A = this chain, B = another copy of it.
Amino acid sequence: MSTSRALEREEPSYFGAGPALLPTSVLQQAAYDLISYENDSIGIGEISHRSKPATKVIDDTKDNLKTLLNIPDNYEVFFLQGGGTGGFSSIAYNMMAHYAKRTGKKGKAAYAITGSWSAKALEEAQRLGFDSYTVVNTKGDNYSDIPAFSRWQPIQEDTAYLWVCDNETVYGIEFNDVPGADYLPADVPLVADMSSNILSKKIDVSKYGVIMAGAQKNIGIAGLTIYIVRKDLLDQATDAELRKLDIPLSPICFNFPIVVKNNSAYNTIPLFTCQILKLVTEKLIQDKGIDAIEKINIKKAEVLYEALESYPNFYKLPSTNAKVRSKMNVVFKTPSEDLDSKFVEEANAKGLKGLKGHRSVGGNRASIYNAVSLASVEKLSKFVKEFAEANS
Protein backbone atom coordinates (compact mmCIF):
# COMPACT_ATOMS: atom_id res chain seq x y z
CA MET A 1 0.00 0.00 0.00
CA SER A 2 1.28 3.42 -0.85
CA THR A 3 1.28 5.73 2.14
CA SER A 4 2.55 8.74 0.30
CA ARG A 5 -0.84 9.17 -1.39
CA ALA A 6 -2.21 12.55 -0.28
CA LEU A 7 -5.11 12.59 2.13
CA GLU A 8 -7.32 14.56 -0.23
CA ARG A 9 -10.85 14.35 -1.50
CA GLU A 10 -13.06 16.33 -3.80
CA GLU A 11 -15.38 18.35 -1.54
CA PRO A 12 -18.52 16.19 -1.43
CA SER A 13 -22.11 17.48 -1.68
CA TYR A 14 -23.55 14.87 0.61
CA PHE A 15 -26.96 15.20 2.25
CA GLY A 16 -27.20 11.94 4.23
CA ALA A 17 -29.31 12.00 7.40
CA GLY A 18 -26.64 10.52 9.60
CA PRO A 19 -23.97 9.40 9.95
CA ALA A 20 -23.29 12.58 8.07
CA LEU A 21 -20.64 14.71 6.45
CA LEU A 22 -17.73 15.97 8.55
CA PRO A 23 -15.27 18.75 7.74
CA THR A 24 -12.49 17.35 5.53
CA SER A 25 -9.81 19.15 7.56
CA VAL A 26 -11.02 17.39 10.73
CA LEU A 27 -10.85 13.97 9.09
CA GLN A 28 -7.37 14.71 7.77
CA GLN A 29 -6.07 15.64 11.22
CA ALA A 30 -7.84 12.60 12.73
CA ALA A 31 -6.19 10.36 10.12
CA TYR A 32 -2.74 11.47 11.28
CA ASP A 33 -3.74 11.16 14.94
CA LEU A 34 -4.88 7.59 14.29
CA ILE A 35 -1.35 6.60 13.33
CA SER A 36 0.81 8.83 15.48
CA TYR A 37 -0.68 11.11 18.12
CA GLU A 38 1.49 14.10 18.93
CA ASN A 39 4.30 12.45 16.94
CA ASP A 40 4.68 9.73 19.54
CA SER A 41 4.50 6.82 17.06
CA ILE A 42 1.40 5.60 18.88
CA GLY A 43 -2.06 6.38 17.61
CA ILE A 44 -4.80 8.04 19.65
CA GLY A 45 -6.85 4.82 19.45
CA GLU A 46 -4.03 2.75 20.94
CA ILE A 47 -3.31 4.55 24.22
CA SER A 48 -4.81 3.89 27.64
CA HIS A 49 -8.12 5.63 28.27
CA ARG A 50 -6.75 6.65 31.68
CA SER A 51 -3.43 8.08 30.42
CA LYS A 52 -2.73 11.81 30.62
CA PRO A 53 -3.14 12.47 26.89
CA ALA A 54 -6.48 10.59 26.95
CA THR A 55 -7.75 12.62 29.89
CA LYS A 56 -6.72 15.78 28.08
CA VAL A 57 -8.70 14.79 24.96
CA ILE A 58 -11.79 14.16 27.11
CA ASP A 59 -11.36 17.39 29.08
CA ASP A 60 -10.67 19.50 25.99
CA THR A 61 -13.79 18.15 24.30
CA LYS A 62 -15.88 18.96 27.38
CA ASP A 63 -14.37 22.46 27.56
CA ASN A 64 -15.05 23.09 23.88
CA LEU A 65 -18.70 22.10 24.35
CA LYS A 66 -18.95 24.33 27.43
CA THR A 67 -17.53 27.25 25.46
CA LEU A 68 -19.68 26.72 22.38
CA LEU A 69 -22.98 26.20 24.21
CA ASN A 70 -22.19 28.54 27.09
CA ILE A 71 -22.94 25.73 29.53
CA PRO A 72 -23.42 26.99 33.12
CA ASP A 73 -21.20 25.70 35.93
CA ASN A 74 -24.02 23.72 37.51
CA TYR A 75 -24.02 21.28 34.58
CA GLU A 76 -21.87 18.22 33.93
CA VAL A 77 -20.80 17.20 30.42
CA PHE A 78 -20.05 13.54 29.85
CA PHE A 79 -19.97 10.85 27.19
CA LEU A 80 -21.55 7.40 26.91
CA GLN A 81 -21.64 4.67 24.32
CA GLY A 82 -24.98 3.41 23.04
CA GLY A 83 -26.23 6.22 20.79
CA GLY A 84 -29.56 7.97 21.11
CA THR A 85 -31.26 4.60 21.55
CA GLY A 86 -29.08 3.97 24.58
CA GLY A 87 -30.13 7.42 25.77
CA PHE A 88 -33.82 6.49 25.58
CA SER A 89 -33.08 3.90 28.28
CA SER A 90 -30.32 5.58 30.29
CA ILE A 91 -32.19 8.83 30.81
CA ALA A 92 -35.35 7.08 31.98
CA TYR A 93 -33.39 5.01 34.53
CA ASN A 94 -31.40 7.96 35.85
CA MET A 95 -34.23 10.48 36.01
CA MET A 96 -36.39 8.01 37.91
CA ALA A 97 -33.50 7.33 40.30
CA HIS A 98 -33.16 11.06 40.92
CA TYR A 99 -36.89 11.49 41.43
CA ALA A 100 -36.89 8.63 43.94
CA LYS A 101 -34.06 10.30 45.86
CA ARG A 102 -35.76 13.70 45.87
CA THR A 103 -39.27 12.52 46.78
CA GLY A 104 -38.93 8.99 48.12
CA LYS A 105 -41.45 7.97 45.47
CA LYS A 106 -41.72 6.31 42.10
CA GLY A 107 -42.17 8.95 39.41
CA LYS A 108 -43.93 9.14 36.07
CA ALA A 109 -42.50 10.28 32.76
CA ALA A 110 -44.14 12.76 30.36
CA TYR A 111 -43.41 12.59 26.63
CA ALA A 112 -44.18 15.02 23.81
CA ILE A 113 -44.60 12.91 20.69
CA THR A 114 -43.75 14.99 17.63
CA GLY A 115 -42.18 12.35 15.40
CA SER A 116 -40.87 8.82 15.26
CA TRP A 117 -37.86 9.40 17.55
CA SER A 118 -39.84 10.77 20.48
CA ALA A 119 -42.31 7.91 19.90
CA LYS A 120 -39.44 5.42 20.17
CA ALA A 121 -38.19 7.08 23.35
CA LEU A 122 -41.64 6.74 24.95
CA GLU A 123 -41.94 3.13 23.79
CA GLU A 124 -38.64 2.28 25.51
CA ALA A 125 -39.61 3.94 28.81
CA GLN A 126 -42.87 1.99 28.82
CA ARG A 127 -41.13 -1.23 27.84
CA LEU A 128 -38.73 -0.90 30.76
CA GLY A 129 -41.74 -0.58 33.05
CA PHE A 130 -41.68 3.17 33.77
CA ASP A 131 -45.12 4.74 34.17
CA SER A 132 -45.29 7.13 31.22
CA TYR A 133 -47.85 9.34 29.50
CA THR A 134 -48.01 11.71 26.54
CA VAL A 135 -48.72 15.43 26.81
CA VAL A 136 -49.06 15.84 23.08
CA ASN A 137 -49.06 13.39 20.17
CA THR A 138 -49.27 14.60 16.60
CA LYS A 139 -49.14 11.18 14.95
CA GLY A 140 -52.76 11.54 13.81
CA ASP A 141 -51.72 14.60 11.80
CA ASN A 142 -48.73 12.75 10.39
CA TYR A 143 -46.43 14.72 12.70
CA SER A 144 -46.99 17.82 10.57
CA ASP A 145 -46.97 20.47 13.29
CA ILE A 146 -46.07 21.19 16.91
CA PRO A 147 -49.08 22.62 18.75
CA ALA A 148 -48.57 25.58 21.11
CA PHE A 149 -47.56 24.52 24.64
CA SER A 150 -50.80 26.04 25.93
CA ARG A 151 -52.65 23.27 24.07
CA TRP A 152 -50.57 20.40 25.54
CA GLN A 153 -52.12 18.21 28.23
CA PRO A 154 -51.14 19.36 31.71
CA ILE A 155 -48.14 17.86 33.47
CA GLN A 156 -49.40 15.31 36.00
CA GLU A 157 -48.37 15.05 39.62
CA ASP A 158 -45.28 12.94 40.34
CA THR A 159 -43.79 13.63 36.95
CA ALA A 160 -40.05 12.99 37.01
CA TYR A 161 -39.28 14.64 33.65
CA LEU A 162 -40.71 15.89 30.36
CA TRP A 163 -39.11 14.47 27.20
CA VAL A 164 -38.96 16.30 23.88
CA CYS A 165 -37.07 15.47 20.70
CA ASP A 166 -35.90 18.91 19.58
CA ASN A 167 -35.52 17.90 15.93
CA GLU A 168 -37.29 14.94 14.30
CA THR A 169 -35.18 13.78 11.35
CA VAL A 170 -37.72 11.52 9.64
CA TYR A 171 -40.59 14.00 9.35
CA GLY A 172 -38.39 17.13 9.33
CA ILE A 173 -40.02 18.87 12.29
CA GLU A 174 -38.06 21.02 14.74
CA PHE A 175 -38.96 22.92 17.90
CA ASN A 176 -38.34 26.65 17.69
CA ASP A 177 -39.10 27.25 21.35
CA VAL A 178 -38.89 25.54 24.74
CA PRO A 179 -41.73 24.90 27.19
CA GLY A 180 -41.37 27.62 29.81
CA ALA A 181 -42.62 28.26 33.32
CA ASP A 182 -46.18 28.93 32.13
CA TYR A 183 -46.41 25.26 31.10
CA LEU A 184 -43.74 23.26 32.89
CA PRO A 185 -43.63 23.22 36.73
CA ALA A 186 -40.24 24.38 38.01
CA ASP A 187 -39.45 21.02 39.61
CA VAL A 188 -40.01 18.99 36.41
CA PRO A 189 -36.75 18.87 34.43
CA LEU A 190 -36.93 19.18 30.67
CA VAL A 191 -35.08 16.43 28.79
CA ALA A 192 -34.19 17.15 25.17
CA ASP A 193 -32.95 14.70 22.57
CA MET A 194 -30.81 16.98 20.38
CA SER A 195 -29.06 14.21 18.46
CA SER A 196 -29.72 15.82 15.11
CA ASN A 197 -29.44 19.55 15.82
CA ILE A 198 -27.01 20.09 18.67
CA LEU A 199 -24.41 22.78 17.87
CA SER A 200 -26.55 24.00 14.96
CA LYS A 201 -28.09 26.92 16.86
CA LYS A 202 -27.89 28.85 20.11
CA ILE A 203 -29.68 27.24 23.03
CA ASP A 204 -30.23 28.35 26.59
CA VAL A 205 -28.88 25.32 28.45
CA SER A 206 -30.29 26.58 31.76
CA LYS A 207 -33.78 25.74 30.49
CA TYR A 208 -32.94 22.03 30.35
CA GLY A 209 -32.32 19.34 32.93
CA VAL A 210 -30.75 16.96 30.41
CA ILE A 211 -29.56 17.40 26.85
CA MET A 212 -28.59 14.21 25.06
CA ALA A 213 -27.10 13.98 21.57
CA GLY A 214 -25.66 11.15 19.51
CA ALA A 215 -22.50 12.39 17.82
CA GLN A 216 -23.05 11.20 14.28
CA LYS A 217 -24.86 14.20 12.78
CA ASN A 218 -23.23 17.53 13.63
CA ILE A 219 -20.39 16.49 15.91
CA GLY A 220 -18.54 13.41 14.78
CA ILE A 221 -18.67 9.74 13.86
CA ALA A 222 -20.98 7.22 15.52
CA GLY A 223 -19.98 5.68 18.83
CA LEU A 224 -20.28 8.41 21.45
CA THR A 225 -23.27 10.22 22.86
CA ILE A 226 -22.98 13.60 24.56
CA TYR A 227 -24.84 14.26 27.81
CA ILE A 228 -25.24 17.68 29.40
CA VAL A 229 -26.88 17.15 32.79
CA ARG A 230 -27.75 19.58 35.59
CA LYS A 231 -25.68 18.52 38.58
CA ASP A 232 -28.53 18.18 41.06
CA LEU A 233 -30.03 15.44 38.86
CA LEU A 234 -26.99 13.29 39.59
CA ASP A 235 -28.12 12.95 43.18
CA GLN A 236 -29.86 9.59 43.01
CA ALA A 237 -31.44 6.92 45.19
CA THR A 238 -29.17 4.00 46.09
CA ASP A 239 -29.59 0.63 44.42
CA ALA A 240 -31.19 -0.69 47.62
CA GLU A 241 -33.68 2.20 47.71
CA LEU A 242 -34.55 1.65 44.06
CA ARG A 243 -35.12 -2.07 44.62
CA LYS A 244 -37.38 -1.27 47.56
CA LEU A 245 -39.47 1.07 45.39
CA ASP A 246 -39.51 -1.52 42.59
CA ILE A 247 -37.76 0.91 40.21
CA PRO A 248 -35.60 -0.80 37.53
CA LEU A 249 -31.84 -0.25 37.89
CA SER A 250 -29.68 1.00 35.06
CA PRO A 251 -26.87 -1.25 33.79
CA ILE A 252 -23.70 0.07 35.40
CA CYS A 253 -22.33 1.51 32.13
CA PHE A 254 -25.40 3.78 31.90
CA ASN A 255 -25.24 4.99 35.51
CA PHE A 256 -24.70 8.76 35.22
CA PRO A 257 -23.16 9.39 38.67
CA ILE A 258 -20.59 6.62 38.16
CA VAL A 259 -19.73 7.80 34.66
CA VAL A 260 -19.30 11.39 35.90
CA LYS A 261 -17.19 10.29 38.86
CA ASN A 262 -14.86 8.52 36.40
CA ASN A 263 -14.71 11.42 33.91
CA SER A 264 -16.42 9.33 31.20
CA ALA A 265 -13.81 6.58 31.49
CA TYR A 266 -15.49 4.15 33.92
CA ASN A 267 -15.21 1.72 31.07
CA THR A 268 -13.03 2.26 28.02
CA ILE A 269 -14.16 5.40 26.23
CA PRO A 270 -13.76 5.22 22.43
CA LEU A 271 -10.97 7.77 22.45
CA PHE A 272 -10.51 8.11 18.70
CA THR A 273 -14.19 8.98 18.43
CA CYS A 274 -13.76 11.53 21.22
CA GLN A 275 -10.76 13.02 19.41
CA ILE A 276 -12.99 13.65 16.38
CA LEU A 277 -15.50 15.45 18.65
CA LYS A 278 -12.62 17.51 19.98
CA LEU A 279 -11.47 18.47 16.50
CA VAL A 280 -14.99 19.31 15.28
CA THR A 281 -15.74 21.50 18.29
CA GLU A 282 -12.29 23.13 18.06
CA LYS A 283 -12.98 24.03 14.43
CA LEU A 284 -16.39 25.46 15.35
CA ILE A 285 -14.75 27.71 17.93
CA GLN A 286 -12.14 28.84 15.37
CA ASP A 287 -14.96 29.50 12.89
CA LYS A 288 -16.48 31.99 15.35
CA GLY A 289 -18.80 29.72 17.28
CA ILE A 290 -22.48 28.93 17.31
CA ASP A 291 -23.65 32.41 16.27
CA ALA A 292 -21.75 32.12 13.01
CA ILE A 293 -22.81 28.57 12.20
CA GLU A 294 -26.43 29.34 13.11
CA LYS A 295 -26.48 32.22 10.62
CA ILE A 296 -25.18 29.92 7.88
CA ASN A 297 -27.67 27.20 8.84
CA ILE A 298 -30.58 29.67 8.68
CA LYS A 299 -29.41 30.84 5.28
CA LYS A 300 -29.04 27.25 4.00
CA ALA A 301 -32.57 26.34 5.12
CA GLU A 302 -34.00 29.54 3.62
CA VAL A 303 -32.40 28.93 0.25
CA LEU A 304 -33.58 25.32 0.03
CA TYR A 305 -37.14 25.82 1.32
CA GLU A 306 -37.48 28.84 -0.96
CA ALA A 307 -36.55 26.69 -3.96
CA LEU A 308 -39.03 23.99 -2.95
CA GLU A 309 -41.81 26.52 -2.27
CA SER A 310 -41.31 28.11 -5.67
CA TYR A 311 -43.02 25.02 -7.08
CA PRO A 312 -45.95 24.48 -4.70
CA ASN A 313 -47.77 22.23 -7.16
CA PHE A 314 -44.75 20.05 -7.61
CA TYR A 315 -43.04 19.70 -4.22
CA LYS A 316 -45.01 18.78 -1.12
CA LEU A 317 -43.56 19.70 2.27
CA PRO A 318 -44.62 17.80 5.41
CA SER A 319 -45.75 20.92 7.26
CA THR A 320 -47.58 24.06 6.19
CA ASN A 321 -46.23 25.77 9.31
CA ALA A 322 -42.88 27.19 8.23
CA LYS A 323 -41.94 27.83 11.87
CA VAL A 324 -41.63 24.13 12.74
CA ARG A 325 -39.87 23.05 9.55
CA SER A 326 -36.52 21.55 10.42
CA LYS A 327 -33.43 23.56 9.52
CA MET A 328 -31.47 20.31 9.55
CA ASN A 329 -33.61 17.81 7.61
CA VAL A 330 -35.52 19.20 4.66
CA VAL A 331 -38.14 16.59 3.78
CA PHE A 332 -40.12 16.80 0.54
CA LYS A 333 -42.05 14.75 -1.98
CA THR A 334 -42.46 15.13 -5.73
CA PRO A 335 -45.85 14.28 -7.31
CA SER A 336 -45.05 10.54 -7.57
CA GLU A 337 -42.78 7.81 -6.22
CA ASP A 338 -41.32 7.43 -9.69
CA LEU A 339 -40.38 11.09 -9.76
CA ASP A 340 -38.96 10.80 -6.23
CA SER A 341 -36.62 8.08 -7.47
CA LYS A 342 -35.80 9.99 -10.62
CA PHE A 343 -34.91 13.01 -8.48
CA VAL A 344 -32.47 10.97 -6.41
CA GLU A 345 -30.91 9.39 -9.50
CA GLU A 346 -30.43 12.59 -11.42
CA ALA A 347 -29.16 14.42 -8.35
CA ASN A 348 -26.68 11.59 -7.76
CA ALA A 349 -25.42 11.93 -11.32
CA LYS A 350 -24.71 15.60 -10.58
CA GLY A 351 -22.76 14.68 -7.45
CA LEU A 352 -25.60 15.60 -5.06
CA LYS A 353 -25.73 12.52 -2.87
CA GLY A 354 -27.67 10.98 0.01
CA LEU A 355 -31.07 12.45 -0.86
CA LYS A 356 -33.39 9.46 -0.47
CA GLY A 357 -36.06 9.86 2.21
CA HIS A 358 -36.35 7.63 5.26
CA ARG A 359 -37.65 4.16 4.35
CA SER A 360 -40.67 4.65 6.67
CA VAL A 361 -42.03 7.74 4.87
CA GLY A 362 -40.54 7.61 1.38
CA GLY A 363 -39.99 10.80 -0.64
CA ASN A 364 -36.76 12.71 -0.46
CA ARG A 365 -34.75 14.37 2.25
CA ALA A 366 -31.82 16.75 2.25
CA SER A 367 -30.01 16.80 5.57
CA ILE A 368 -28.05 20.02 5.79
CA TYR A 369 -26.08 19.65 9.00
CA ASN A 370 -23.23 21.96 10.00
CA ALA A 371 -20.65 20.40 7.67
CA VAL A 372 -22.82 20.80 4.56
CA SER A 373 -21.73 24.04 2.91
CA LEU A 374 -23.98 26.83 1.65
CA ALA A 375 -22.42 26.19 -1.78
CA SER A 376 -23.67 22.58 -1.72
CA VAL A 377 -27.15 23.72 -0.69
CA GLU A 378 -27.17 26.31 -3.48
CA LYS A 379 -26.21 23.62 -5.99
CA LEU A 380 -29.03 21.45 -4.70
CA SER A 381 -31.51 24.33 -4.77
CA LYS A 382 -30.65 25.01 -8.38
CA PHE A 383 -31.27 21.36 -9.19
CA VAL A 384 -34.56 21.41 -7.23
CA LYS A 385 -35.80 24.17 -9.54
CA GLU A 386 -34.49 22.58 -12.74
CA PHE A 387 -36.07 19.25 -11.85
CA ALA A 388 -39.47 20.82 -11.23
CA GLU A 389 -39.27 22.76 -14.51
CA ALA A 390 -38.34 19.66 -16.47
CA ASN A 391 -40.95 17.37 -14.91
CA SER A 392 -43.97 19.58 -14.29
Chain A residues close to B by CB (< 8 Å): 1, 3-12, 14, 16-22, 24-25, 27-32, 34-36, 41-43, 45-50, 81-86, 88-90, 124, 127-129, 214, 216, 221-224, 239, 243, 248-249, 251-254, 266-273, 276, 353-354, 359
Contacts and interface: CB of A to CB of B under 8 A. Distances in A.
Given A81-B86, A251-B89, A253-B85, A270 B46 contact: no
Contact of A239 (B28, B127, B216, B248): B127
Q: Is the interface of A mostly helix, strand, loop or mixed?
A: loop
A84 B269 CA distance: 11
Nearest to A50: B359
Contact of A28 (B1, B9, B222): B1
Contacts of A272: 221-223, 273
Contact of A252 (B22, B28, B29, B88): B88
Nearest to A217: B268
A249 B32 contact: no
Please list the 4 inter-chain residue pairs (A to B) with the smallest Cβ-Cβ separation, ordered nearest first: A223-B270, A89-B251, A45-B221, A31-B31
A128 B9 contact: no
Contacts of A85: 252-253, 266-267
A5 B8 CA distance: 11
A249 B125 CA distance: 11
Given A129-B243, A249-B129, A25 B1 contact: yes
A35 B41 contact: no
B252 A19 contact: no
B19 A45 contact: yes
Contacts of A86: 81-82, 251, 253, 267
30 contacts: A3-B7, A3-B28, A7-B31, A12-B42, A14-B42, A14-B46, A17-B48, A18-B48, A19-B271, A22-B46, A24-B35, A27-B34, A27-B43, A27-B45, A28-B35, A81-B81, A81-B223, A84-B267, A85-B253, A85-B267, A86-B251, A86-B253, A89-B251, A89-B253, A90-B251, A127-B249, A221-B270, A222-B271, A223-B270, A270-B270
